[in-house]
Amino acid sequence: MKEGHLFDKRKNVKRFLLGFYLFLVLLIVVDLIIPKHPFFPWEAYPFFYAAYGFVAYVSIVFGSHFILRKFLKRKEDYYAD
């Protein structure tokens, strides 16, 4: 008998995504409810840490693509004799 994996069924994928999106909404609501004690004034803005994390992630991806690639990329025939 062939056993399937958890995400082989479309119904399981939809359940997982629904749970994931509900968890994201819960995090947004909690972020608005819990009082903040900012050290810097800009930390008091709603969703500051989400925006900061997103900008940091995008900066790392583009920085590695445009800067590090020039140092690490090899020519096509690098391993050829």
Match 């062939």 to its residue by tokens. Answer: 2
72 against 55, higher pLDDT: 55
pLDDT in tens, 11-47: 999 999 999 999 999 988 988 888 888 999 999 888 8
Q: Is residue 55 part of a domain?
A: yes
**C-alpha to C-alpha distance for 11 and 20, rounded to whole angstroms:** 14
d(CA 8, CA 22): 22
Instruction: Using pLDDT thresholds of 50, 70 and 90, give the confidence band for residue 6.
Output: confident
| The predicted structure's pLDDT at residue 71 | 84
Mean pLDDT, the chain, rounded, equals 89
Q: Structural domain of residue 13, as residue ranges?
A: 7-72
Asked whether residue 80 is assigned to any structural domain, the reply reads: no
Measured CA to CA, the distance from residue 56 to residue 73 in angstroms comes to 23
Query: Number of structural domains, the chain?
Result: 1
